[in-house]
Amino acid sequence: MATLSGLCVLLLAALSRAVAGDNVTPVYFTDGDVLTLNVTRSDTKPIQNILWKFNGNLLAERVQNKAPLELFGTFIGRTDLSIADARLVVRNMSKADTGAYSVEINSKVHAQSYDAKWIKVLRQPEVVMRPLTCSPVSESCTLSCEADTTEAGPVTHSWKMGVNQLKVSTKDMQINKTDHVNDETITCLISNPLGEQVSAPINNPFYVAPTNNTPGIVVPILLVLCVVVVVVVVLVLWKRKLGPFKNRDATKTVSTTLSPLGGVSGTPSEEHGLTEKGVNETA
């Protein structure tokens, strides 16, 4: 019976460790960062005491209404602990702070823990083309996104062809003259949990500039010009055709209204009488 009880205790302990292991959250930092560790609780009971540990050693402890915050070791003077939600904040992190962070709430080990890892900030990568003799006459070329990623943590790579973001998660990528003629430039991106760095763009050896497709614009312009020319010619011809008729009408009007002497003419009889009267008076 005692053996069975001992076996049950071992099984429960192993199960607890397995559950705790499933809740280990990796977090990343670099020199000078602020590390914030939040705790997710399903228990609604008020927190009476909190104990944080770093690699199994005491880090911070606080007891509600009984003892103020107590810090230990290298965490003194740069650590805060919230009694309300058990959140731990550590400032001015360094590589020495790499390790496991666990917490006990109300004297019980919480399932959630953290694995804090120090990593380097990424530097700008460079696109390297292989072979170096890659040219428009080549069938294909290999691109490599080169950067120092030592101790940079998990690093992902992606590529941008022209303005199109490609979902490529490898350091190297192959291009060819068939599928990449429309992409003028090539850029690579690398990222880690601390941020992202983008390379300077390089020219794509397989890029083919689009031809100047002007007919689509020229044709409508030419049509409009033709219409304008036709309208102008028609107007000119119309005016020229009506010109003699307008002059003839004007001549007729003048001849019937003006006398040879520049006065106003009347009827033939009146004009004859006036002439005779003038002769008689003169005589």
CATH for 126-203 is 2.60.40.10
CATH for 16-118 is 2.60.40.10
pLDDT per residue of the chain (283 residues) written in tens, 0 to 9: 444 444 343 343 344 444 444 589 999 999 999 999 999 988 888 999 999 999 999 999 999 887 889 999 999 999 999 999 999 999 999 999 999 999 999 999 999 999 999 999 999 999 999 998 889 989 999 999 999 999 999 999 999 988 887 777 789 999 998 888 888 999 999 999 999 999 999 999 988 888 765 555 555 676 777 777 777 777 777 677 665 545 555 444 444 444 444 444 444 444 444 444 444 444 3
Q: How far, in Å, CA of 184 to CA of 205, rounded? A: 8
Query: Where would I find the H helices in 197-259?
Result: 215-257
- Could you tell me which residues come within 8 angstroms of residue 190 by beta carbon, excluding any fewer than 6 positions away? 122, 125, 145, 147, 149, 155, 156, 157, 196, 197
* CA R_g for the chain: 49
Write down the pTM of the prediction: 0.63
Length of the chain as a residue count:
283
Q: How far, in Å, CA of 115 to CA of 279, rounded? A: 140
Domain boundaries, the chain: 16-118, 126-203
One-letter amino acid at 2 equals: A
- List, edge to edge, every strand of the sheet that includes 126-130: 126-130, 140-146, 172-176
Q: Is there a shared CATH topology between the 16-118 domain and the 126-203 domain?
A: yes
